[in-house]
Amino acid sequence: MTATTTRPLQAPVLPDQEELVRRLLSDTPLLKDTPDHLLQVVNVLESYGIVLDAYSKNLVDQGEKQLLNPFPVMRFFHEGITPKRLWDHLLGDRINFEYAEYCQKAMFWHGTGGLDAYLDSAEFQEACQRIISRKASRDPLIGITNRLYPGFAPESIRSLTTIYCLGLFWRVMSDLFVDLARRYRIGEVACVKDVVHHIRDGLVAAAGSPITYKVVIAGEEIWVLPPDAGLTFLVDVAVPYVEAVFFRGMPFLGTVSYNAQARQISPDISDFKYGALYADPIPSMGAGIPPSLCMQDMYRHLPDELNRWYDDHARGQVDVHVQICVSFQKSMFCVTNGAIAGTMPHPLDTNDPGEQAANRAYAESWAGRLMGCRREALL
């Protein structure tokens, strides 16, 4: 008999920084272009688009109706309250809007981009004082609270403004993802590259859309984000969202210690690496892990094609939430890819050396950040 030797399995080679730069500059998807990846990404984004439709409607409704509401206990009932809807809510048979609030808090806390800069402006503070004055004329509690804690009400308005803007952002993304699935089913989207192009083109088309916010308080219309603020969809909301949710995020309760002495969390939030592109595929549905709520929402709206695919992979329906999480992360790399492509300083086919250098510098800055992400998801 001849002795046989078995070779140890080699770990897959992850794309290095130069490879990431090459892909970004050559219009090659960051995610490996395979039929399985296409199936996962398109279908999970369709499910996510359906969920974002509900998230968007709820957040916009909160912005219109919950301003300076001291007890917004009914904020999730934007479709109205009925005995059945209340009972379903108590049983957990509902969309988990808490995940939407987690994303809003991440944007609010990290505070990057043009939206946050405007929220620090004198114009915004003036609008806040007008709102507080009008509210206090009908609600003595607001007046008393504002005198005792003058920073509380403006901060609450600032937070709800972020909620409203996130709702506007998700309205665009929901329509974009649902349309992606439609194009996939009629054969217009046939590879991962098509997915990235669809997202890129959608973001570019919406890039200059104005972001405005007006409320009516005691019969008076007050602009919170007026048109002359010049805030737009891509630069002032979409890019800060990617920064806050895809890259920085917030530590999940139960996964790291919040004890300052343990030093498991950086004191500098700009160093945070808890976003969707960094997330480890830990068992979903764990307490204190907000994306578990989003995975459950998507599970309730999974297209049949993806549900069947999960049946034949990993442990089938036993770990379906974890599988959704993995597919979702892959799709978020495609969204990031589309956002980078859509904000490239110059066309990729430019022959101008200066423009080529600017594109390379831009790609290198993004590739450097992506090096710390879960590049395993790209394979």
Per-residue model confidence (pLDDT) at position 297: 94
Per-residue model confidence (pLDDT) at position 287: 66
* Torsional sign, CA 272, 373, 249, 107: positive
Share of the chain above pLDDT 90, in %: 72
Q: Which carries the bigger pLDDT value, residue 71 or residue 49?
A: 49
Per-residue model confidence (pLDDT) at position 6: 52
Name the residue with tokens 């199936």.
Answer: 39
Q: Is there a domain that residue 95 lies in? A: yes
- Report the predicted TM-score, pTM, of the whole model to 2 decimal places: 0.92
Q: In this structure, what are the phi and psi dihedrals at residue 2, rounded to the nearest 5 degrees?
A: -100, 125
Per-residue model confidence (pLDDT) at position 284: 62
Q: Which carries the bigger pLDDT value, residue 292 or residue 208?
A: 208
Q: What contacts 24+ positions apart, CB below 8 Å, involve 32-37?
A: 32/192, 32/378, 32/379, 33/191, 33/192, 33/193, 34/192, 36/309, 37/192, 37/330
Q: Is there a domain that residue 370 lies in? A: yes
Among residues 50, 73, 78, the alpha carbon closest in space to that of 62 is found at 78
Per-residue model confidence (pLDDT) at position 3: 46
**pLDDT confidence bin for 10, thresholds 50/70/90:** low
**pLDDT confidence bin for 170, thresholds 50/70/90:** very high
Q: Is there a domain that residue 39 lies in? A: yes
Structural domain span for residue 325: 17-69+91-248+263-378
* Torsional sign, CA 42, 44, 45, 46: positive
Q: Is there a domain that residue 182 lies in? A: yes
Bin 247: left if φ > 0, else alpha if -120 < ψ < 50, else beta.
Answer: alpha
Residue at 309: amino acid letter = W
Count helices and strands (H / E) in the chain.
15, 2
Q: Is there a domain that residue 6 lies in? A: no
Residue partners of 97: CB distance under 8 A and separation at least 6: 54, 55, 58, 75, 76
Q: Which of 10-14, 30-34, 133-137 has the highest mean pLDDT?
A: 30-34
Residue 1: is its pLDDT beyond 50?
A: no
Instruction: Say which range, 188-197, 285-294, 309-318, has the weakest mean pLDDT.
Output: 285-294
Task: Tell me 228's DSSP state.
Answer: G
Instruction: Say which range, 18-22, 182-186, 372-376, has the weakest mean pLDDT.
Output: 372-376
Per-residue model confidence (pLDDT) at position 194: 98
Q: Is there a domain that residue 254 lies in? A: no
Per-residue model confidence (pLDDT) at position 300: 93
**What total of structural domains would you count in the chain?**
1
Residue 4: is its pLDDT beyond 50?
A: no
Mean pLDDT of the residues in the chain? 91
Strand partners, 223: 214
* Torsional sign, CA 221, 225, 230, 235: negative
Q: Under DSSP, is residue 137 helix (H, G, I), strand (E, B) or coil? A: coil
Q: Is there a domain that residue 198 lies in? A: yes
**pLDDT confidence bin for 290, thresholds 50/70/90:** confident
Q: Is there a domain that residue 369 lies in? A: yes
Residue 54: is its pLDDT beyond 60?
A: yes
- Stretch 191-210: mean pLDDT, rounded? 97
Per-residue model confidence (pLDDT) at position 260: 84
